[in-house]
A and B are shown apart, each in its own frame.
Chain A
Amino acid sequence: MSDWIEIGTLNEIPKLGARVVSRAEGDIAVFRTAEDKIFALRDKCPHKGGQLSQGIVLGDRVACPLHDWKIGLDNGIAIAPDEGCAASFPIKMEGEKIMLSTTPNDGCANK
C-alpha cells in the first residue's frame, strides 16, 4: 500500500490511552494498549457517534464515553450483544515511528 503516513511516535500516546488523527473525512482514533500494541479506528461509535478516542481502553477493547458500548480494537466490531462497527485502519510500527494508512480495512460501512 502506498498511502502510509507517519503520524508520530509511540510515546506520544499514553498507555491505555488514545490520540486523534484529525482529517476532513472524519477523525481517526489511534489507541495504545498496556502491551504497547497500537490500533486505529474511525473515531465514531456505531451507536450514537461518540468519540471512541475519549473512551477508556480495556485490554483489547475500548468503552465508548457516551453510552459505554465496548468496541473491539483490532476489528472495530461492537462486542455482543451490541451490534455495529467502526472502520479499522491499517497501522504499524516502523522503528519508533507509527505508520497509518488512511484507506480503511474492508468490512465496515462506518468509515
Chain B
Amino acid sequence: MKEKLVVIGNGMAGIRTVEELLKIDSDAYDITVFGAEPYGNYNRIMLSPVLAGDKTIDEIMLNDIQWYKDNAITLHSGKEVTLIDRVNKKVIADDGTEESYDRLLIATGSDPFIIPVPGNDLDGVISFRDIKDVDAMLAASKKHKHAVVIGGGLLGLEAANGLMQQGMSVTVVHLMDKLMERQMDAPAAAMLKESLEERGLHFLMEASTESIIGKDSVEKVRFKDGSEIYADLVVMAVGIKPNIKLAKEAGIHCERGVIVNDTLQTYDPSIYSVGECAQHRGVAYGLVAPLFEMAKVCANHLAKMGIGTYSGTMTSTKLKVTGIDLFSAGNFIGDDTTDELVFQDKARGVYRKIVVKDNKILGAVMYGDTIDGSWYFDLMRDGTDISEFRENLLFGQAHLGDSGHGDDNRVAAMADSSEICGCNGVTKGEIVNAITVNKIFTLDEVRAHTKASSSCGSCTGLVESLMSHVLGGDYSTAPHLKPICGCTDKSHDTVRAEIEKQEFKSIRTLMDALEWKTPEGCSKCRPALNYYLVCKFPELNLDDAQSRFINERAHANIQGDGTYSVIPRMWGGMTTPQELRAVADAAEKFNIDTVHVTGGQRIGLYGLKKEELPEVWKDLNDAGMVSGHAYGKALRTVKTCVGKEWCRFGTQDSTGLGIKLEKMSWGSWMPHKFKMAASGCPRNCAEATIKDYGVVCVDSGYEIHVGGNGGIKVRATDLLCNVETEEDVLEYSAAYIQLYREEAHYLERTAPWIERVGLGHIKEALVDDAEGRKKLAERFNFSQTFMQDDPWEERAQGAEAHEFTPIKVIG
C-alpha cells in the first residue's frame, strides 16, 4: 500500500511542494490536502494587483479543483485542521474529518498581526491576507469613502494603493518615522513617501494607535497623542506572524516559527514544514522565493531521493505598485567596515545605494530606476569581485562598455511588440503573457514556454528583469549556486571539482556518482560533462560523440535547411593560389551556390549535403587544407594584418605571429568558441581588441589583450600585460587558453568569464605567477599533442562513416 502524505495548508508553499513531489515521483503517496479557505490554490502575492483592479481572482488561481482531481489528490477545502495526533499519526479537522498520515507537511503559513488595541474587533476592521479580505475591501470601497491603513510596510502600502485605486481616500498610519524601514534606507523612503503623496495618499508618521472607535462598525481611529481621524474601513497591515498554533499544540518544537532543519524536517522526523510558518536557521521568511526553494528540497526528501539541502535564501524586495519602482536586497544599511556607493538625482526621482565590503556587494537599495536590481542581486549572490568596474557600478550594467545593449535595457518602458529574444523572435508581450497565463515563476519555465533566452542566452538578463518587473517579489531567482541544468543540483564548478577529486572516466560513472536526476542527462549537461572530461584527461580519448551537438559530431555547421557548411583553415588569414584553386574546384564539383568570405579571413562553402562532406573534405585535404573548426567550441580563427613585411606602419611580423598562434592552438576543444587576432601596430586593423585573445604589436614588443567579444554583447578587451618576444606571446597564449579551458563554465565565452572571475584573477594566475604560467602552458601543449589530428582527414578516410551515410536507401 502507498504511504499517506497529508498536507495542512492549501497555500503556495504546501502546493508547490506537492507539485515538486509529483514532478519527481507522481506515485509515491496518497496525498490529502487540507485548506481552510474554500478555493483551489491561488497566488497570494498577487492579491495586491487584484485589489488595485489590475488583475482578477481568476487570473491569480494557480491550481483549480480539477487539478487536484487530475492528480488524484484529496482536497478538503474549507476545513481547518484543529488537531495533530502524533501518537496515532492522524489529523482531525473542525468538522470531524480525520485523516491518518505516514508523513505530514505543515504549511499553515502566517497570520496577520492584529495590534492589541480596544476596538480591533469592530466591523470594518480587517487584515490583508486572503481573498476574503480583498472582497471585504472591494465591498467597502464601493460604499465608503475613508480608509485608514495601519502599517507603512510593503503590505500596507500595497493595500493603501489598491484602496486608493478603488476610489477611497486613504491615510497610512505608521509607527516609525520612515516607510518600509525593513527594506528602505532614509533617502529612498523619503522619495517613496513623496511620490505616494503626489498620487494622493495621506500619511501619519510616528503615530501610535491607541484605540479604534465605533458603535457597531468602525468610525474613528484615535492616537496616543489624543488626535483622531475619521475612518469607515481600517486595514491592519503591521506584519505577519508564523501560524504555529497547531504545531505547538502537538508538542513540536517552535520558536517564532516551526523549527526545521536543512531538509525541512521538524523535531518529529515524520513531520515536515515549509513556507512562512517554518523557521530555518533562525529565519522565518515572508517572501516567495525562499518558499519555492524550500518546496524543492522538501519534495526531494519526501520522494526519498535524499539529496539536496536548503541553506537559506538571499531575498530581495520589490513593491507591487504600478509606476513605482523600488528594490532592495541584503544589508543595505552598512556599518563602519563597509563602503557606501550612492547615486541620487532628486529631480529625476532616482536613488541608488550599494553597500560594498572588500569589493563585494553586501546589499543594495534602489528607488525610481530599478532595472539593474537583478544585476546587483546576481553580483551579490555570486560574490563577484567588482573592483574592475567599481567606478561604473552605480550607473548600471548598461555602462560597462556595453555598446551592444545600451538603453534598450529599459524593459519596463518597452512596447509589448518589442523583441526580447532575437534568436527565437519572442516579444515582451509574449513573455508577459506566458508568465501571467501559465502562472510561471522561474526562468526555466519561461524558457520552456516561450523559448526566450533558451538559445544564445544573451537576453537572459532582460528576461530576468522582465520577470521581476511582472512578478515583483515573487520572482523566484535561482538558488545561490546555479545548477548546470534541471538534471542536477550541482553547479559547473562543483562538478569540475568532483572530476578533479574522483577522476571520473566516463559521463556514466560521473552521473551515477553525483546522483544525476535524469537517466542520461539533457542537451545542456551532457555536452558540458563531455567537455569537462575531455579537458581533464586529454590522453585518454574519452570523447563521446553522442554527447556532442551535431555540429561537433559532424565537423560541419548544420544550416537552417539541414545542409552543412565547410570552412577550411587559412592559417593566419594567409592563402595560396593552390588553396584557392582547390576551394574553387570543390565549389564547382559539388555545385555550391554560396561561396562566402567569412569575417575570420577564410572562405566558406555553403549548402552541402551531409553525405557529401567526406568527399569535399578529401578534396580539400589533398590540397593541404584542414578543418577550420568553424563549427566547434574550439579555436576558430587568428585574424591578422600584413604587418611590417608590407605595411609602412607595421612594427612587428603580425602575420607570422598569427600563423604561429594558430598552428599552436588549433584542434583544442574549449568551453566555447575562441578567436584570436594579431595587429601589426596600434592602428589595430585586425581588430585584436574585440577578440578572446588579441595581440597588438608595438615598437617595443607586444601588448596582450584578453576577454574581448565582437558578438551579441560587444566587449573590448582588457590589457593583460606587455611582453618583449614572440616566445612570450605564445607562452602567454597557451597559458591563458588553458586557464580558460580549466576554469570557465561550458558555453561561457572569455568575456563573461573574465567579468565573473575578475581580471585580477587572470593577472594573478598569468602575470604575477611565472611558474604557474609555465605549468599552464605545459598542460596546454601536452593536451595539444592529442588534439591536432585533422578530423576531416580521419573522416575522409572512412572514420565514423555511419555519421555520414544513410543506413538504408529506399525506392
> Do A and B share a complex?
yes
Expressed in whole angstroms, the Cα–Cα distance for A7 and B438 within the complex equals 44
Interface size (A, Cβ < 8 Å)? 36
B190 near A: Cβ within 8 Å?
A: no
Q: Would A59 and B550 be within 8 Å (CB), given that A14-B802, A21-B808, A27-B806 are in contact?
A: no
B811 in contact with A23 (CB, 8 Å): yes
A65 in contact with B558 (CB, 8 Å): yes
**Residues of A bordering B, CB below 8 Å:** 5, 7-8, 12-17, 19-25, 27, 30, 34, 48-51, 54-59, 63, 65-68, 81, 102
B424 near A: Cβ within 8 Å?
A: yes
Besides A5-B808, A51-B558, 12 other A-B contacts (C-beta < 8 A): A16-B547, A17-B545, A17-B802, A19-B807, A21-B807, A24-B810, A51-B562, A59-B519, A65-B549, A67-B451, A67-B454, A67-B455
Q: Which residue of B lies closest to A32 (CB)?
A: B546
A49 in contact with B546 (CB, 8 Å): no
**Interface residue from B546, B549, B558, B809 paired with A23 (Cβ < 8 Å):** B809
B522 near A: Cβ within 8 Å?
A: yes
Q: Would A81 and B562 be within 8 Å (CB), given that A21-B808, A59-B518 are in contact?
A: no
Listed from nearest, the 5 A-B pairs whose CB atoms lie closest are A19-B807, A22-B806, A16-B546, A23-B810, A63-B523
A residues in contact with B519, CB < 8 Å: 34, 58-59
**Interface residue from B424, B554, B808 paired with A7 (Cβ < 8 Å):** B808
Expressed in whole angstroms, the Cα–Cα distance for A24 and B523 within the complex equals 30
A22 in contact with B547 (CB, 8 Å): no
Looking at B518, B560, B808, which has the most chain A CB atoms within 10 Å of its CB?
B808
B residues in contact with A63, CB < 8 Å: 522-523
B residues in contact with A102, CB < 8 Å: 810
Q: What are some 23 contacts across the A-B interface (CB < 8 A)?
A: A7-B807, A8-B807, A14-B802, A15-B546, A16-B520, A20-B806, A21-B806, A21-B809, A22-B806, A23-B809, A23-B810, A48-B560, A49-B562, A51-B562, A54-B550, A55-B523, A56-B549, A58-B522, A63-B522, A65-B549, A66-B560, A67-B454, A67-B455
B residues in contact with A59, CB < 8 Å: 518-520
B363 near A: Cβ within 8 Å?
A: no
B residues in contact with A24, CB < 8 Å: 810-811
Q: Which residue of B lies closest to A5 (CB)?
A: B810
Count, A-B residue pairs, CB within 8 A: 92
A13 in contact with B802 (CB, 8 Å): yes
Expressed in whole angstroms, the Cα–Cα distance for A91 and B719 within the complex equals 60
Expressed in whole angstroms, the Cα–Cα distance for A15 and B520 within the complex equals 12
Q: Which residue of A lies closest to B434 (CB)?
A: A81
Expressed in whole angstroms, the Cα–Cα distance for A43 and B520 within the complex equals 22
Expressed in whole angstroms, the Cα–Cα distance for A15 and B506 within the complex equals 15
B545 in contact with A14 (CB, 8 Å): yes
Q: Which residue of A lies closest to B564 (CB)?
A: A54
Interface size (B, Cβ < 8 Å)? 32
B521 near A: Cβ within 8 Å?
A: yes
0/1 string, B444-470, CB within 8 A of A gives 1: 000011010011000000000000000
A residues in contact with B546, CB < 8 Å: 14-17, 56-57
A58 in contact with B518 (CB, 8 Å): yes
Q: Would A34 and B520 be within 8 Å (CB), given that A12-B802, A16-B546, A56-B546 are in contact?
A: yes
B residues in contact with A55, CB < 8 Å: 523, 550
Q: Would A81 and B526 be within 8 Å (CB), given that A27-B806, A67-B455 are in contact?
A: no
A22 in contact with B810 (CB, 8 Å): yes
Expressed in whole angstroms, the Cα–Cα distance for A27 and B680 within the complex equals 51
Q: Which residue of A lies closest to B454 (CB)?
A: A68
Give min CB distance, B597 to chain A, whole Å.
Answer: 26
Expressed in whole angstroms, the Cα–Cα distance for A13 and B800 within the complex equals 11
Give min CB distance, B405 to chain A, whole Å.
Answer: 24
Give min CB distance, A89 to chain B, whole Å.
Answer: 12
Expressed in whole angstroms, the Cα–Cα distance for A12 and B807 within the complex equals 7
Q: Which residue of A lies closest to B423 (CB)?
A: A67
Q: Which residue of B lies closest to A9 (CB)?
A: B807
B residues in contact with A34, CB < 8 Å: 519-520
Give min CB distance, B746 to chain A, whole Å.
Answer: 14
B810 in contact with A56 (CB, 8 Å): no
Q: Which residue of B lies closest to A62 (CB)?
A: B523
Interface residues of B in 519-557 (CB under 8 A from A): 519-523, 526-527, 545-547, 549-550, 553-554
Q: Which residue of B lies closest to A19 (CB)?
A: B807
A residues in contact with B808, CB < 8 Å: 5, 7-8, 21-22
Expressed in whole angstroms, the Cα–Cα distance for A81 and B547 within the complex equals 24
Looking at A19, A48, A49, which has the most chain B CB atoms within 10 Å of its CB?
A19
0/1 string, B183-221, CB within 8 A of A gives 1: 000000000000000000000000000000000000000
A21 in contact with B562 (CB, 8 Å): no
B residues in contact with A13, CB < 8 Å: 802, 807
Q: Which residue of A lies closest to B545 (CB)?
A: A14
0/1 string, B253-265, CB within 8 A of A gives 1: 0000000000000
B521 in contact with A58 (CB, 8 Å): yes
Q: Which residue of B lies closest to A22 (CB)?
A: B806
A residues in contact with B518, CB < 8 Å: 58-59
Give min CB distance, B92 to chain A, whole Å.
Answer: 39
Expressed in whole angstroms, the Cα–Cα distance for A12 and B537 within the complex equals 28
B449 in contact with A81 (CB, 8 Å): yes
A67 in contact with B549 (CB, 8 Å): no
0/1 string, B555-584, CB within 8 A of A gives 1: 000101010000000000000000000000
Give min CB distance, B438 to chain A, whole Å.
Answer: 8
B residues in contact with A23, CB < 8 Å: 809-811
Expressed in whole angstroms, the Cα–Cα distance for A21 and B809 within the complex equals 6
Q: Would A19 and B520 be within 8 Å (CB), given that A57-B546, A65-B550, A67-B424 are in contact?
A: no
Expressed in whole angstroms, the Cα–Cα distance for A55 and B527 within the complex equals 12
Expressed in whole angstroms, the Cα–Cα distance for A51 and B558 within the complex equals 10
B residues in contact with A57, CB < 8 Å: 520, 546
Q: Which residue of B lies closest to A55 (CB)?
A: B550
Give min CB distance, A74 to chain B, whole Å.
Answer: 15
A22 in contact with B454 (CB, 8 Å): no
A residues in contact with B547, CB < 8 Å: 16, 56
A residues in contact with B454, CB < 8 Å: 67-68
